[in-house]
């Protein structure tokens, strides 16, 4: 079930500007693997740097977190849990003998917003079950008051979803998200305890990432069906906690429910090495990117500097020469750096 394709100009985007973005990404990002741009639900540009390809799944790293958040939202919608449930309630047999007041106070909401109260994220290894490692970590801060990026917190969300549904996050999402979007054969690595890792470990194709972003842009609606409640989409993508004050950093614009807020009133799912699903509601644009990048801010800067100026409010006259230039630019991309 492929997304529809159309020319950039028919969707109000300048082909020449898109071409300049692709070329800049090729020259400046070390190294791009793929990109796809949607406007109004239409794919207007797509590129893969060899040996990557349209059909090749790519590791998402922490972009996986946004999918785990979606599973939480669906479980909440189905009445299986609440974001105000306390974390310890789900694991009575794995709790420390004398849990601290801060650990007892920690809620699902705090896992979602990376404000668990940890100073140092728990280390998950082979020495004990991952849930036990998390629950035995010191919680010096009051939950909800201290943002600290925390991949084990996302694992706990996955473990909670599995507790309340009896399925891994992967299996739970298949009929509710992956199948309706036409995402086939998703793979999600598991912990030694058989729980989807949640915070990373998901493998999808570039177009699958784009579909996920488009679903969120459409407030959870897909082909006439409301897959995710609009209220959850709004909650999950709105700033929930502050994480800095630098106006030039896309990592200081606030954090939502496993989504980052961006400049330009955008939001994104975000993974190590440059895995991005950027949603720009004001422009009705979705950008999916995979990479092995050393400069994530630089990679995002190109979206703002090159793509945004190419987006116009109305359709443009077709530009055959500009489109030919774009197609030529994406035809022979090589991962040479």
Check whether residue 89 and residue 180 sit in a common domain: yes
Which pLDDT value is given to residue 1? 86
Check whether residue 306 and residue 258 sit in a common domain: yes
Look at the block and give the residue holding tokens 């116009």: 312
Structure-token pair, residue 221: 């609606």
Look at the block and give the residue holding tokens 């109004």: 40
Q: What is the pTM of this model?
A: 0.97
Which pLDDT value is given to residue 337? 47
| Beta carbons within 8 Å of 190's beta carbon, 6+ residues apart | 168, 196, 197, 201
Check whether residue 38 and residue 108 sit in a common domain: no
Give the residue among 176, 202, 168 at the shortest CA–CA distance from 188: 202
Taking 70 as the threshold, does the pLDDT of residue 312 lie above it?
Answer: yes
Contact present, 326 and 22 (Cβ < 8 Å): yes
Q: Rounded to whole angstroms, how far apart are CA atoms 239 and 283?
A: 19
Write out pLDDT tens, residues 227-241: 999 999 999 999 999
Check whether residue 92 and residue 50 sit in a common domain: no
The neighbouring-strand residues paired with 107 are 86
- Give the DSSP H or E segment for 337: none
- Whether 47 maps to a domain, the answer reads yes
Q: Name the average pLDDT for the chain.
A: 97
Check whether residue 141 and residue 179 sit in a common domain: yes
Contact present, 106 and 196 (Cβ < 8 Å): no
Q: Rounded to whole angstroms, how far apart are CA atoms 16 and 25?
A: 14
Look at the block and give the residue holding tokens 């598991």: 190
Check whether residue 162 and residue 259 sit in a common domain: no
Check whether residue 173 and residue 80 sit in a common domain: yes
Which pLDDT value is given to residue 334? 76
| Average pLDDT of the residues in 43-55 | 97
DSSP 140: -
Which pLDDT value is given to residue 335? 62
Q: End-to-end distance of the chain based on CA atoms, in angstroms? A: 33
Write out pLDDT tens, residues 146-171: 999 999 999 999 999 999 999 999 99
Percent above pLDDT 70 for the chain? 99
Check whether residue 176 and residue 261 sit in a common domain: no
Check whether residue 48 and residue 176 sit in a common domain: no
| Average pLDDT of the residues in 116-132 | 95
Check whether residue 173 and residue 64 sit in a common domain: yes
> Which residues constitute the domain of residue 279?
9-56+247-331
Q: What is the DSSP string of 15-50?
A: HHHHHHHHHHHHHHSTTEEEEEEEETTEEEEEEE-B
Check whether residue 15 and residue 73 sit in a common domain: no
| Average pLDDT of the residues in 193-204 | 98
Question: How many domains, the chain?
Answer: 2
Taking 70 as the threshold, does the pLDDT of residue 44 lie above it?
Answer: yes
Give the residue among 103, 105, 112, 116 at the shortest CA–CA distance from 83: 112
Write out pLDDT tens, residues 74-100: 999 999 999 999 999 999 999 999 999
Write out pLDDT tens, residues 288-303: 999 999 999 999 999 9
Write out pLDDT tens, residues 234-260: 999 999 999 999 999 999 999 999 999
Give the residue among 145, 169, 166, 146 at the shortest CA–CA distance from 157: 169
Which pLDDT value is given to residue 332? 81
């Amino acid at each position: 079930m492929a997304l529809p394709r159309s020319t950039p100009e028919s969707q109000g985007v300048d082909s020449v500007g898109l071409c300049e973005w692709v070329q800049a990404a090729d020259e400046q990002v070390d190294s791009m693997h793929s990109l796809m741009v949607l406007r109004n639900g239409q794919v207007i540009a797509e590129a893969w740097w060899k040996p990557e390809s349209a059909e090749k799944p790519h590791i998402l790293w922490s972009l996986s977190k946004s999918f785990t958040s979606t599973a939480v939202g669906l479980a909440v919608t189905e009445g299986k849990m609440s974001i105000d449930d306390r974390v310890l309630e789900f694991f009575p047999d794995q709790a420390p003998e004398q849990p601290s007041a801060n650990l007892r106070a920690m809620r699902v909401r705090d896992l979602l917003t990376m404000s668990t109260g940890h100073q140092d994220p728990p280390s998950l290894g082979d020495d004990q079950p991952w849930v036990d490692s998390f629950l035995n970590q010191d919680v010096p801060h009051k939950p909800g008051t201290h943002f600290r990026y925390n991949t084990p917190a996302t694992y706990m969300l996955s473990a909670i979803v599995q507790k309340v549904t009896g399925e891994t996050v992967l299996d739970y999402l298949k009929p509710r998200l992956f199948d309706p979007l036409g995402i086939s054969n998703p793979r999600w690595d598991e912990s030694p305890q058989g729980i989807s890792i949640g915070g990373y470990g998901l493998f999808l194709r570039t177009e699958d990432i784009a579909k996920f972003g488009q679903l969120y842009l459409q407030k959870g609606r897909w082909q006439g069906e409301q897959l995710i409640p609009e209220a959850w989409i709004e909650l999950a993508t709105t700033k929930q906690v502050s994480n800095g004050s630098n106006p030039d950093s896309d990592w200081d614009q606030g954090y939502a429910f496993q989504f980052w807020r961006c400049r330009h009133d955008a939001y994104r799912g975000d993974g190590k090495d440059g895995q991005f699903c950027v949603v720009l509601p004001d422009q009705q644009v979705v950008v999916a990117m995979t990479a092995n990048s050393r400069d994530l801010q630089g990679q995002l800067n190109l979206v703002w500097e090159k793509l945004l100026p190419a987006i116009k409010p109305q359709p443009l006259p077709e530009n055959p020469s500009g489109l030919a230039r774009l197609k030529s630019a994406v035809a022979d991309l090589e991962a040479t750096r």
